[in-house]
Amino acid sequence: MRLEVDIQSKSYTSANGKRQQVISGIAFTLERGELGVVVGPSGCGKSTMMRILAGLDADYDGRVSQPAGARLAMVFQEPRLLPWRSVEDNVRLAAPEVTEERLTAIFGVLELEGHRNHFPGELSLGLARRVALARAFAVEPDFLILDEPLASLDDALAAKLREEIATLVASRPMITLLVTHSMDDAVRLGDRIFLLSSRPARLLHAVPISVPRAQRSDATVAALKADLARRDFSMS
Amino acid sequence: MRLEVDIQSKSYTSANGKRQQVISGIAFTLERGELGVVVGPSGCGKSTMMRILAGLDADYDGRVSQPAGARLAMVFQEPRLLPWRSVEDNVRLAAPEVTEERLTAIFGVLELEGHRNHFPGELSLGLARRVALARAFAVEPDFLILDEPLASLDDALAAKLREEIATLVASRPMITLLVTHSMDDAVRLGDRIFLLSSRPARLLHAVPISVPRAQRSDATVAALKADLARRDFSMS
Amino acid sequence: ALLPLSTSRAAETVKVAVQKTGTFAWELAVVRAHQLDKQADIAIDAVELASPEAGKIALRAGNADIMVSDWLWVSRERALGARLTFSPYSSALGAVMVPASSPLKTLADLKGRKLAVAGGPLDKSWLLLQAALKRDGVELKSQATITYGAPPLLAAKLADGEMDAGLNYWNFCAALEAKGFRRLAGIEDILPAFGAKGRTAMIGYVFDEDWAAKHRDLVARFLSVTAKAKEILATSDAEWQTIAPLTGAPDEATLRAYRDRYREGIPRRSAAEEEADARILYGVLASIGGRDLVGPAAELSPGTYYRADARD
Amino acid sequence: MLRLLSFALLLATWWVAATIAGSAKLPPPSAVLAVAIAEAKSGALFLHLGATLARVALAFTLSMAIGSALGFWMGRSRIANRLGDPWLILLLNLPALVVIVLAYIWAGLTEVAAIAAIAINKLPTAVVTLREGARALDPSLDEMAQVFAFPRGRILRHVLLPQLAPYIAAAARSGLSLVWKIVLVAELLGRPNGIGFEIGVAFQLFDIPLLLAYSLSFAAVVLVIEALLVQPFEQRASRWRLRAA
Amino acid sequence: MLRLLSFALLLATWWVAATIAGSAKLPPPSAVLAVAIAEAKSGALFLHLGATLARVALAFTLSMAIGSALGFWMGRSRIANRLGDPWLILLLNLPALVVIVLAYIWAGLTEVAAIAAIAINKLPTAVVTLREGARALDPSLDEMAQVFAFPRGRILRHVLLPQLAPYIAAAARSGLSLVWKIVLVAELLGRPNGIGFEIGVAFQLFDIPLLLAYSLSFAAVVLVIEALLVQPFEQRASRWRLRAA
Ligand SMILES: Nc1ncnc2c1ncn2[C@@H]1O[C@H](COP(=O)(O)OP(=O)(O)OP(=O)(O)O)[C@@H](O)[C@H]1O
Ligand SMILES: Nc1ncnc2c1ncn2[C@@H]1O[C@H](COP(=O)(O)OP(=O)(O)OP(=O)(O)O)[C@@H](O)[C@H]1O
Ligand SMILES: [Mg+2]
Ligand SMILES: [Mg+2]
């Protein structure tokens, strides 16, 4: 099971008829168990790429071979909850086989226990994003796409959830793609980091991180970040 | 012109009938020219407070005296653009007196020039948030509320926009309130930092920052952050 | 030379409601063509309407002084308090029609057949037919399959063979006749069995009694004008060619059928004779139609018939 | 109970209007009620009301089901819309009388013909409303459902129906009233029972109280259904909408 | 041009059906067209069509304007809804025939009575649809408009109308067809001209080609208006909706 990506080009035709290229060349493969992090400037085409990888958009040049038969879960950049279903129902609808036990565990970690019966409209944005995370976790996916999952959360909670993601990834052999603007998240979680150029997105660097996730001390992280910062600027 | 806030209590009745307190005591005043930063855990009641300050919610115990006759502008936590109007129209509808010159300047800073004629549905989330910022800037407000304006932007752009906010605040005597999860933003921009407890939100500390904004070097910022981190944990 | 004189005096106006496809419209065409109205110095202001029931609305709404309906309804209205009155217009009644090849020979043969009844359960012809057969011990309502419906639709249904027989208004019967259908019996044929002395005009001009009291002369002139028109239609075949387009007759045969049936229907008897028969028929109808039909009055309401000579 | 108050006001208005206009122009509620009670006692009211309700229920269910499905399809597929549009406009603007007469001519004066004709009359308005609803669907929720591999039934029930609910409610309410109005015409033209048949009789007799008694009986049934069934359900189903502050 | 193709298909279907059923049951398009041309040449078609169109336009405008305003109000205010609901249900379920007859009795067989009666018939369906639309409005955009102190007119035009557009479109389309159908009844019962009058005549004469010629003339007008005006406008106005991928 592996993910092979080779997007040569992706363009949008906007409502006023103009055509605009958004992706101009992104190719990589990701093996089972690997976590790839996608980093790039705002509006460069990251979410567009994730939609293609998730099979939501087939209108592009190139080829993506999704892991066959893999269960997909995705945390979209916005929560995308069903406003007319409770928090619990939103999760259960996506993951009907989830056990009560596991659900309680997930809600516990995400500090959502008190919000089970709330409707999404009654949540703060941070809470809603956590529900979206809970939904993805509950699915127990083989292929997980996270589009800025930790935005709008406070530092303490974000750190905790980063750990949680690391635990999840370690617990089962799955392919994970994480989009983030936080270099810290990228370096702490990623096995490989894909640096994209600004629009149209092109893969600038695919930086592998060889230090195992568990052994990344604050010092290693700082060093890796410094390294990345150099590369990033040298080409973009 | 000053903003006097004394919210004793705010509760919501959720759809299943339960009543839940969200704010249990927040009182402060902000003078013209000051920038207050609100920091607190996810879901503690920050956005709720901002809605009260903006006059969108009158159902609370306490008193808020909004600056009389002040022009209000707000960047909501979600972009809240009119999906059926172009980017430019969205801005112009909120700020009909904006000159073409100023609009171009604002779009330039926010790197939106190429998106003027796009509809909001054709924007990435980061772009949409920038449009919401452009809208607030274009209004030239006397009272500006920013609810996590820099989330979902890459570091470089976020730094640039932080500068832009500092410039705007310096250029005219206005009252600004900024909600953020980034201590960095808080310390770099704020005149006073309001630390809130988790739900129901209570004002834990109101920390004044005496160093003028322009003189906050990286070292000062780090020191201030360390100071804040201590306080934050000591009480929450 | 007389013309300026007659136009200088403003002719009195009478507003009448006419159904565009009805016989009243034919008569009015004749009136106009022969300037009978001008000669009688009245102006007939016709409100043309497309459905048979619209006349009642026009009368109630005050848009018409005169419309065409039956004495049964007038009597019912009078019993309910309205001061309407009636003057005979036509004795043409419906008939039971069957296809030419139909095995049905007499009305009693309708037993067990599919019969289309135009105008609903309270239709006069239908009630009279039931009453007549009842005397022979036939409960037609339960012993035949009855289909009610709009008259034109039922005529079409009979024509295309969906029904064994149809009781319809005389004009639809005339059209069917022209197509080769057979009259099993006309309703007027069964009236003598109830004791009626002759053909009784069921329908007539209906107008408000108080209005008529104030315009006795006008009413008289109107009645004489229309009587003249009837006379012209009764005697002149050429006249029928002129009004042919109005009748909607698709061919000569139908027009001829219309003409003959129309002529038969012109009332020839005095109002008193008509009223006497109406009383008898009223009893028959009331006994079979019940309160639904006649309202609270058990007998023909007094004053139902308009008396030109009566003074109040 | 604002609703009861309003209902009382309605009756009062009618009473006053009747008093001013005179009972020949508008019979007072008491007169209509008396007729209704008389008809109810004789059993005729229930007989006709039952026949009409059965027709309404059948034609309504049929046309809502088919119309919603077609409308949804036309709202989602550009090709379906292009192909269906001329038919839709034709059906929409074909007078009820014509459809009913043609149906009776084709299929005989039968119950099937009546119900088919009524359903065909109502169908296009359901299509038109649901088409708008389908066009306004939120594609981001579709994507969510696709990513999480929601089966068809779950998509329908949890993703689509809640979004279409206001359109369905609008189509159903105005549709029910339309069906009922057309049932009347169909009964008037060629059925031996039903409210429309009685209205035809009342109209021939020009008996306004009888006309009103039968007309209002259906409105009364709808009023009761709305108050006891539809509105409590709607309130539950729209609990998630946050009331305006 | 899929639309033209579909239109051709429609005509072809009709032709085939007519051939199979025989012209007594369904006249072929050519026969109807011939009658329509004859009526057009004599000028009668345009006379009646003109009269009907004028009535439709007036009643439609009136009922859409008042109905939309009322519906919006009832959707936004709980009290207005409670108060208005019984009236709404009554109006919704009052047969067209009854309203028209009462209007004619009250106000005479006049143009005003006809148009008022038609408008009253159509009004409640607009109310019902727009009420749903108003209930589904997005409160977050309201808040945005309030914060930025949008004046009323700007809110209406830029915030509310685009959200209500699908509901207005649904109400207008099904409403236009409803108005037209009721105009026919009103003309049948008490107007001396108009398509409904001619349809009544054609029905009495049971002249099916004439009936169809007049019935379809209005559908033809709507077809042309839709193709040339409404649909291009709608397409422009909904450019912002992203097509499904
Ligand atoms: N309409 C509502 N009905 C019921 N509860 C609500 C409602 N709106 C917000 N809440 C609750 O109030 C609390 C505070 O919400 P608020 O949006 O103010 O949080 P916040 O501090 O802005 O959080 P975040 O950082 O995630 O944006 C949350 O627990 C939320 O569930
Ligand atoms: N449906 C669309 N039609 C036209 N242009 C689009 C559409 N969707 C996205 N775009 C454009 O494609 C570009 C990339 O969008 P995308 O959402 O992939 O950005 P992103 O990298 O996820 O940005 P962010 O970090 O802000 O989320 C943007 O410039 C956007 O304007
Ligand atoms: Mg994105
Ligand atoms: Mg918030």
Does residue E161 belong to the interface with chain B, where contact is any CB pair within 8 Å? no
CA distance E194 to E208: 17
The atom number, within ligand 1, closest to the CA of A129 reads 26
* pLDDT tens per residue, range A85-127: 999 999 999 999 999 999 999 999 999 999 999 999 999 999 9
The atom number, within ligand 2, closest to the CA of B124 reads 17
CA distance C283 to C297: 10
Query: E-assigned strands of chain C?
Result: 12-19, 42-49, 66-70, 84-90, 95-98, 114-118, 145-149, 165-168, 182-186, 203-208
| Phi–psi pair at A118, nearest 5 degrees | -75, 150
CA distance D138 to D109: 46
> Residue with the nearest Cα to atom 29 of ligand 2?
A43
Chains contacting chain A through 3 or more C-beta pairs under 8 A: B, D, E
pLDDT at D241: 84
Q: Give the DSSP H or E segment for B232.
A: helix B218-235
Give the minimum alpha-carbon distance from A198 to chain B in angstroms, rounded to a whole number.
11
pLDDT at C8: 40
* Burial (CB count <10 Å: 0-12, 13-18, 19+), residue E233: exposed
Pick from B77, B60, B76, B54: nearest CA to B21? B60
pLDDT at D159: 96
Give per-residue burial for C236-274: e unless 16+ CB within 10 Å, then b: eeebbeebbebbbbeeeebbbbbbebbebbbbebebebb
Cα(B77) to centroid(ligand 4), Å: 6
Query: E-assigned strands of B66-185?
Result: 72-75, 143-147, 175-179
Instruction: Choose among B15, B41, B158: nearest Cβ to A157.
Output: B41
Q: Which token pair is B214?
A: 């322009």
pLDDT, averaged per 10 consecutive residues of chain D (245 residues), comes to: 86 90 84 92 91 94 95 93 90 89 85 92 94 93 95 95 94 90 86 86 85 90 86 84 57
* pLDDT tens per residue, range A161-179: 999 999 988 888 899 999 9
Asked if A200 contacts A45 with a C-beta cutoff of 8 angstroms, the reply is yes
Cα atoms found within 13 Å of the Cα of residue C190, Cβ hemisphere only: 26
* pLDDT tens per residue, range D190-200: 888 889 888 88
CA distance A28 to A25: 10
pLDDT at B112: 94
Judge: B58–D245 Cβ closer than 8 Å, yes or no: yes
Pick from B154, B97, B100, B95: nearest CA to B130? B154
Judge: E204–C50 Cβ closer than 8 Å, yes or no: yes
B200 Cβ closer than 6 Å to some ligand 1 atom: no
What distance separates the 2 farthest-apart alpha carbons in chain C?
Answer: 68
Pocket test for ligand 2, best of B124, B150, B152 (most atoms within 8 A of CB): B124
From first to last of its 312 residues, what are the pLDDT tens digits of chain C?
Answer: 333 444 445 678 999 998 887 889 999 999 999 999 898 889 999 888 877 778 888 888 888 999 999 888 898 888 888 889 999 999 888 899 999 988 988 888 888 899 999 888 888 889 889 988 888 888 888 888 888 888 888 888 888 888 899 999 988 898 898 888 999 988 888 888 888 888 888 889 999 999 999 998 999 999 999 999 999 999 999 999 998 888 888 888 889 999 998 998 898 888 888 899 999 998 888 888 877 777 777 888 888 898 876 544
DSSP designation for C266 = S
Count other C-beta atoms under 10 Å from residue C192's C-beta: 11
Cα(E194) to centroid(ligand 4), Å: 62
* Burial (CB count <10 Å: 0-12, 13-18, 19+), residue E99: buried
pTM, whole model, 2 decimals? 0.90
pLDDT at E172: 92
Instruction: Choose among D104, D201, D206: nearest Cβ to C120.
Output: D201
> What are the residue ranges spanned by the domains of chain A?
1-70+143-236, 72-140
CA distance D13 to D34: 18
Give the minimum alpha-carbon distance from E169 to chain C in angstroms, rounded to a whole number.
33
Residue A221's region, left for phi above 0, alpha for psi from -120 to 50, else beta, is alpha
Q: To the nearest 5 percent, what fractions of chain E are helix, strand and coil?
A: 85, 0, 15
Asked if E236 contacts E162 with a C-beta cutoff of 8 angstroms, the reply is no
CA distance E128 to E88: 8
CA distance C261 to C174: 7
Q: Which token pair is D80?
A: 């379906």
Instruction: Choose among D24, D190, D192: nearest Cβ to C153.
Output: D190
Pick from E48, E70, E196: nearest CA to E124? E70
Cα(B47) to centroid(ligand 4), Å: 4
From first to last of its 245 residues, what are the pLDDT tens digits of chain E?
Answer: 788 888 899 899 999 988 888 877 788 999 999 999 999 999 999 999 999 999 999 999 999 999 999 999 999 998 999 899 989 999 998 988 889 888 888 888 889 999 999 999 999 999 999 999 999 999 999 999 999 999 999 999 999 999 999 999 999 998 898 999 889 888 988 888 899 888 888 888 888 899 999 999 988 998 888 888 888 888 888 888 875 43
Judge: B124–A47 Cβ closer than 8 Å, yes or no: yes
pLDDT at D245: 31
Task: Lowest mean pLDDT of A207-221, B175-189, C209-223, name the range.
Answer: A207-221
Cα(C22) to centroid(ligand 3), Å: 76
Q: How many degrees, rounded to 5, is the angle at CA C149 between CA C279 and CA D125? A: 140
Pick from A47, D87, E180, C195: nearest CA to B123? A47
pLDDT at C6: 41
User: End-to-end alpha-carbon separation of chain A, Å?
Assistant: 32
Judge: A15–E245 Cβ closer than 8 Å, yes or no: no
Cα(C95) to centroid(ligand 2), Å: 80
> Residue with the nearest Cα to atom 10 of ligand 1?
A122
* pLDDT tens per residue, range A137-170: 999 999 999 999 998 888 888 999 999 999 988 8
Q: Tell me which residue has tokens 């370690």.
A: A170
Instruction: Choose among E144, E150, E158: nearest Cβ to B76.
Output: E144
Q: Where are the alpha helices (DSSP H) in C80-193?
A: 124-135, 140-143, 151-159, 170-178, 187-190
* Identity of the residue numbered B21: Q
> Residue with the nearest Cα to atom 31 of ligand 1?
A123
Interface predicted TM-score (ipTM): 0.89
Q: Which residues contact A133 (CB under 8 A, 6 or more apart)?
A: A75, A110, A146, A149, A161
pLDDT at B233: 53
Judge: E200–C51 Cβ closer than 8 Å, yes or no: yes
pLDDT at C296: 76
How much of chain B, in percent, has pLDDT values that exceed 90? Answer: 70
Judge: A57–E240 Cβ closer than 8 Å, yes or no: no
Region B19-36: mean pLDDT is: 93
Q: Which token pair is B128?
A: 């949409």
Judge: D242–A122 Cβ closer than 8 Å, yes or no: yes
Judge: E94–D219 Cβ closer than 8 Å, yes or no: yes
Does residue B219 belong to the interface with chain D, where contact is any CB pair within 8 Å? no
Contacts of C58 in chain E (CB under 8 A): 104, 109, 190
pLDDT at A233: 54
Q: How many degrees, rounded to 5, is the angle at CA E108 between CA E105 and CA E110? A: 135
E244 → chain D, closest CA residue: D139
Instruction: Choose among E25, E196, E206: nearest Cβ to C50.
Output: E196
Q: Which residues contact B43 (CB under 8 A, 6 or more apart)?
A: A111, A123, A124, A126, A127, B198, B199
How is domain B1-70+143-236 classified at the architecture level of CATH?
A: 3-Layer(aba) Sandwich (3.40)
Q: Tell me which residue has tokens 């997980």.
A: A144
B197 Cβ closer than 6 Å to some ligand 1 atom: no
D129 → chain E, closest CA residue: E170
pLDDT at C47: 87
CA distance A232 to E42: 82
Give per-residue burial for D69-90: e unless 16+ CB within 10 Å, then b: ebbbbbbbeeebbbbbbbbbbb
Give the minimum alpha-carbon distance from E83 to chain D in angstroms, rounded to a whole number.
5
Q: How many residues does chain D have?
A: 245
Give the minimum alpha-carbon distance from D150 to chain A in angstroms, rounded to a whole number.
7
* pLDDT tens per residue, range B61-91: 999 998 778 899 999 999 999 999 999 999 9
DSSP designation for C305 = B
Contacts of E133 in chain D (CB under 8 A): 166, 170
Pick from A207, A195, A206: nearest CA to A236? A195
B24 Cβ closer than 6 Å to some ligand 1 atom: no
pLDDT at A96: 94
User: A210: pLDDT confidence band, cut at 50, 70 and 90?
Assistant: confident
Cα(D163) to centroid(ligand 3), Å: 25
pLDDT at C5: 41
Distance of CA A221 to the CA centre of its chain: 20
* pLDDT tens per residue, range B122-178: 999 999 999 999 999 999 999 999 999 998 888 888 999 999 999 988 888 899 999
pLDDT at C10: 60
Q: How many degrees, rounded to 5, is the angle at CA B17 between CA B13 and CA B20? A: 40
Write the DSSP assignment of D157-191 as a string of letters.
Answer: IIIIHHHHHHHHHHHHHHHHHHHHHHHHHHHHHH-
